[in-house]
Amino acid sequence: MKTLYFITSNKGKVREAADKLRPFDITVVQKDLGYAEVQADSLREVAAQGVKEVQKRFDQPFMLEDSGIFIMGLKGFPGVYSKYVFFTIGLPGILRLLEREKNRSAVFQSVYAYCEPKRKPIIVSGECPGVITFDQRGKNGFGFDPIFIPIGAKKTFGEMTTKEKNQFSHRSKALENLISKLKKF
Amino acid sequence: MKTLYFITSNKGKVREAADKLRPFDITVVQKDLGYAEVQADSLREVAAQGVKEVQKRFDQPFMLEDSGIFIMGLKGFPGVYSKYVFFTIGLPGILRLLEREKNRSAVFQSVYAYCEPKRKPIIVSGECPGVITFDQRGKNGFGFDPIFIPIGAKKTFGEMTTKEKNQFSHRSKALENLISKLKKF
């Protein structure tokens, strides 16, 4: 049984990752160290900078994750700043912005960065395309989950169990990419 | 005549600062070096980190500025991320978010950081309270200027000349604070 530290303050992310990595005999342990997130055009850049910072003060294998939702009709907003937007204008704000917008397509993106002491990080991403609903549905998950239906599903992420969500989710795909890379590591 | 480098890509900011500092015999020279902006709760933090980064690779006295508009009815949104929001949902997005909002109060904030080689930076701020209009007015200024009327004025920043705007503006007040600190430096 291998232990992998997950640098995050978000229990929901830990739950998702633990579910996903259990079959690989990996125990995920939350470590809420905190790190600076840069204002960048891409999640990959945010994660890459974060990993550099954490590596300086943590000497165990760890991973961190950054994710966001990119809404096509809003030029990619809220993207890299999804968390901030969630805590300010929130889901009602997003729905209001889209009221007269025909294009409700959106992509959830997740970037995982994995790092061992004194080694270069592995950075992977996963995407989940879908649409923004007209109202909030479901209370599971977190963040933008209640207004996002992935392509191929009829429920929002907010209406799905963790197991159902993991069949579609960006974070789940990113973790799969990470697992396949770790096997070759 | 003293030369002061202004680390910015924004010509409008340079114009405003040059106007303001000319009577003090200071020539403002734009230097578009670029620097990382962190995701932070306050502009002060963004500026403080920026100055640290620039100081490592620039050996002349310089200043940099970060500003944002904090809208009360939107829990301070777009705040620290004003620039990103301007280039995505833009002014129409802000007006849409406020359509059913009674509280249209907002505060423009500007933070200037000034630094000489190998010395601690001076960080000052300036605020300009006002309200968000119901539509865009005027083509002067930049950013959120066409939808912001400062308290005590009848025109938006977008309808004012640089000289008029400097009587009210957050950036102008921050510069005044900087000037008074520099005199004691």
Q: B2 has which bridge partners?
A: B26
CA angle A81, B111, A43 (to 5 degrees): 20
How many interchain CB pairs under 8 A, A with B? 68
**pLDDT above 70 for A185:** no
**Residue in B37, B40, B89 closest to A97 by CB:** B89
Residue of A nearest to B86 (CA): A77
**pLDDT above 70 for B185:** no
pLDDT (tens digit, 9 = 90+) per residue, A79-127?
999 999 999 999 999 999 999 899 999 999 999 999 998 889 999 999 9
The whole-model pTM stands at: 0.81
**pLDDT above 80 for A1:** no
**pLDDT above 90 for B183:** no
Asked if B42 is an interface residue toward chain A (Cβ–Cβ < 8 A), one would say no
Q: B6 has which bridge partners?
A: B30, B63
The Cα–Cα gap between B170 and A31 comes to 40
Contact between B85 and A74 using a beta-carbon 8 Å cutoff: no
Q: Which of B19, B66, B135, B145 is catalytic?
A: B66
Rounded to the nearest 5 percent, the helix, strand and coil shares of chain B are 40, 30, 30
What DSSP line would sit under B114-174, residue for residue?
EE-TTSPPEEEEEEEEEEE-SS---SSSSTTGGGEEETT-SS-GGGS-HHHHHHH-HHHHH
pLDDT (tens digit, 9 = 90+) per residue, A62-76?
999 999 999 999 999
Residue labelled with tokens 């790190």 = A35
pLDDT (tens digit, 9 = 90+) per residue, B121-130?
999 999 999 9
Q: Which domains does chain B have, with CATH numbers?
A: 2-184 (3.90.950.10)
Sorting pLDDT into bands at 50, 70 and 90, what band is A40?
A: confident
Distance of CA B95 to the CA centre of its chain: 21
Contact between B84 and A81 using a beta-carbon 8 Å cutoff: yes
Residues of A carrying an active site annotation? 66
pLDDT (tens digit, 9 = 90+) per residue, A44-63?
999 999 999 999 999 999 99
For residue B160, give both structure tokens: 């004012």
Percent of chain B residues topping a pLDDT of 90: 77
- ipTM reported for the complex surpasses 0.85: no
